C-alpha cells in the first residue's frame, strides 16, 4: 500500500513523496510529516500547524490592476 509523507521546512511543505514515514525519517534529511495512505489535500507551499495537526493553503494574491 502506498503511503505519503511531506517534507517540512519552517512548517512549510517543500516536497511530498510516496514513502513510509519511518523510512523517510531514517534515510532522508529534513523534517517529515506522515500524510497516510490517502494524502489530504496538501500541496507544496502549504503551512503545517503542529498545534492543530492541520495544513492550510497559502493566501491567494489577486493580480494588481493594469
Q: Give the other-Cβ count within 10 Å of 26's Cβ.
A: 9
| Confidence (pTM) | 0.81
Q: Pull the grid cell for residue 64.
A: 494588481
Q: What is the DSSP string of 31-61?
A: EEEEEESS--S--TT-EEETTTTEEEPPPP-
Strands 47-49 and 31-36: unpaired
Reported as a single tens digit per residue, the pLDDT across 9-28 is: 999 999 999 999 999 999 99
Does residue 39 carry a pLDDT above 80?
no
Q: Pull the grid cell for residue 35.
A: 500524510
Amino acid at each position: 500500500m502506498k503511503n505519503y509523507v511531506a517534507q517540512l521546512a519552517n512548517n512549510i511543505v517543500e516536497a511530498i513523496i510516496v514513502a513510509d514515514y519511518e523510512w523517510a525519517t531514517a534515510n532522508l534529511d529534513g523534517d517529515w510529516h506522515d500524510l497516510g495512505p490517502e494524502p489530504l489535500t496538501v500541496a507544496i507551499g502549504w503551512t503545517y500547524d503542529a498545534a492543530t495537526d492541520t495544513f492550510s493553503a497559502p493566501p491567494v494574491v489577486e493580480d494588481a490592476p493594469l
